[in-house]
Amino acid sequence: MDMPNIFRYATKELSQDAFICWLLSHADPKYINVDEELKKCALSLIEAFFELEDKEMPEKFENFSLSKQYKNIDILLKINEFSIIIEDKTRTKAHGDQLIRYKNIIASEVGEENILAIFFKTHDQSNYKKEINDGFKIFSRDKLIAVLDKFEDVSSEIFNDFKDYIKSIEKEVNAFVVKENWNHKNWIGFFKYLQKELKRGDWDYVSNPNKGFMGYWWAFQKNESCWQYLQIQENELVLKINALGNSKYRKYRDHCYKHFLEYSKIENLAFSKPQKFGSGNTITILTTQYMVKDPETSLIDLNATVENLKLYTRFIEKYALKDIDFSSL
């Protein structure tokens, strides 16, 4: 039965910080007799952090302290000689050098070898290259659910509301396979699926003066003059170029358009000219519909859609223009 859930309204990172601190505090030895199931869950969560860092969690907690916003660090958990930095994010990403700064601050206090650096993310982002390069381990929503799901007998409404809320995010992200019309989370689920199937690509929300869209881009063919690549703009697949600041971008645009249109006809692909060419360095030169739907259910046919996208990927890789092709323009 659907019930009111406080976390549907308390969606900000500060609310999530509070829950994480509340749950972790049950592992504090001074609360050993408060709630056995919550204590076990807190210990399981901490153990998951240690496993991510390939470290062994202490069997006994001699010292335990939990701080919020210590030197701007979202959550700092100290257990014996270890300091666990938890950078907690919902929809936002890490910015600037904040993660490196946090690690350096704590390293100066306890030593690099005693740090666990956790990037705690309950929503989705296209990749975690920056966070990993900055020395953080990724604790994603699926890892959190795996911990929470082990504890079915917790009576706390706070715990169960948070658990239900996090699982509702996961359910909605994956609901693209059973829905005809997609929302923001459904597009994320589809793009995550494409990343696994195509083994490449990035995605994000793209804002523009007209109307923003969820986009996915991949198959970059790079040279010194003009990049060519594919981009999904929700229901539309486009072939784009980036003229890299060259003043000849109109000539590059026209050259690429004629070239790719000619070969798309040879390959029997359904590319066509967009309603109008944009101006500037990044330009859509061809457009098509890529998604295949089941005629009976109107739901996406995933296998056919992915094969279609692979076909267009092979096309741009086969016919990509090289630097020399632009030299005479």
Residue 219 buriedness (CB in 10 A; 0-12 / 13-18 / 19+): buried
CA atoms within 13 A on the CB side of 276: 3
Q: Which two tokens stand for residue 296?
A: 């009976």
Q: Which amino acid is at 227?
A: W
Query: Closest Cα partner for 185 from 242, 139, 124, 265?
Result: 124
Query: Closest Cα partner for 86 from 107, 53, 116?
Result: 116
pLDDT, mean over the chain: 95
pLDDT exceeds 60 at position 1:
no
pLDDT digits (tens, 9 = 90+) for 224-233: 999 999 999 9
* Neighbour tally for 4: CB within 10 Å: 7
Query: Closest Cα partner for 151 from 139, 167, 138, 140?
Result: 167
Quick one: pLDDT at residue 76? 98
pLDDT exceeds 60 at position 5:
yes
Measured distance CA(129)–CA(101) in Å, rounded:
17
Q: Which two tokens stand for residue 154?
A: 């917790």
Task: Identify the DSSP state of 174.
Answer: G
pLDDT confidence band for 207 (50 / 70 / 90): very high
Q: Which amino acid is at 223?
A: N
54 Rama class: left (phi>0) / alpha (psi -120 to 50) / beta: left
pLDDT digits (tens, 9 = 90+) for 296-309: 999 999 999 999 99
Q: What is the pTM for the complete model shown?
A: 0.94
